[in-house]
Amino acid sequence: MSKVLVLGASGGIGSALAARFAAQGADVDRLSRSVDGFDVMDARSVATHLAGRGPYDRIVVATGALEIPGAAPEKTIRGLDPVAMADQFALNAIGPALVLSHAHDLLPRDRAAVMAVLSARVGSVGDNRIGGWISYRSAKAAVNQIVHTAAIELARTHCEAALVALHPGTVATAVAEKYLDRHPAVSPQQAAAHLIAVMDDLTAAQTGQFFDSSGAVVPW
C-alpha cells in the first residue's frame, strides 16, 4: 500500500486529491490549517507538523490562495499593494519552500517517489501574454524557481525521486468562482484525477520540471 501526504487537504483541490488517493487504496495523511493548525507561513508550525513523518510515496503541496485575505488580483501594476504582494509571496512561495526544506526527511531514498507543488500557468514567464495579476504571477514564478532549485539538491541524495511543479488547470472551486467565466473549468475531482495520472507517469529524469494537468511541459 502506498503512503501519501496531502498538505492543504481541506481545500477544494487538496480534499479531492486526498479522496482520490484514498479511493485508490493509498494510506493518506492529511494536513490543513483549518483542521490541524498547519500554517505554511509559520516555520515552527511546518517543522512541528512534519516532524517524524514519512517516508511517503506521494506528497502534494496543495496550499495556496488567489486572494489573500480578500485582496483581488491587480488588473495592472498600477494597482499594486505592497502588503498584498508580500502576502502572496508568504503563502504561495515561502510556504512551499518551508515544506520543501523538510523534503529530504519525508521521501524515501531507496525507491521511486513523487513530490508535487501546485503552481499555476500564470506563473510562467514565457507564457505571459496579457499582463495583470502581478503579485500572484510573481509568487507562482518564485515557487517554480524554488521547486527547480530544491529538486537539484534533492537529487543528490534521493536519486529515484521526482520533485515537480504542477498546474492543475482552471478548477471550479469557491476561490476561483468569480473568474470562471473567463476560462473553461474542471471540477476538483477531475483535476485530482488528472494530477494523479501525471504523477504516476513521472520518473526521476523529470525532476525539477513544470507540468500541466495533461502532462505537458509548461515553459518557465
What digits encode the pLDDT tens for the residues 36-67?
999 999 999 999 999 999 999 999 999 999 99
Q: Are 122 and 137 in contact (CB under 8 A)?
A: yes
Angle, nearest 10°, between helix axes 188-201 and 12-23?
60
Q: Is the pLDDT of residue 177 over 80?
A: no
> Is 187 a residue whose pLDDT tops 90?
yes
Cell numbers at 48, concatenated: 512541528
> How far is the C-alpha of 112 from the C-alpha of 158, rounded, in Å?
9
| Residue 82 backbone phi and psi in degrees, to 5 | -60, -35
Residue 116 banded pLDDT, cuts 50, 70, 90: very high
> Which one-letter amino acid corresponds to residue 218?
V
What's the confidence (pLDDT) of residue 173?
A: 74
Q: CA 178, 123, 32 angle in degrees (round to 5)?
A: 65
106: which DSSP letter?
A: H
Grid cell locating 80:
499594486
Question: Torsions phi, psi of 35, nearest 5?
Answer: -95, -40
Please give the CATH number for the structural domain made up of 3-212: 3.40.50.720
Question: How much is the average pLDDT of 156-166?
Answer: 98
Q: Where are the domains of the chain?
A: 3-212
Least confident of 139-143, 164-168, 183-187, 208-212: 183-187
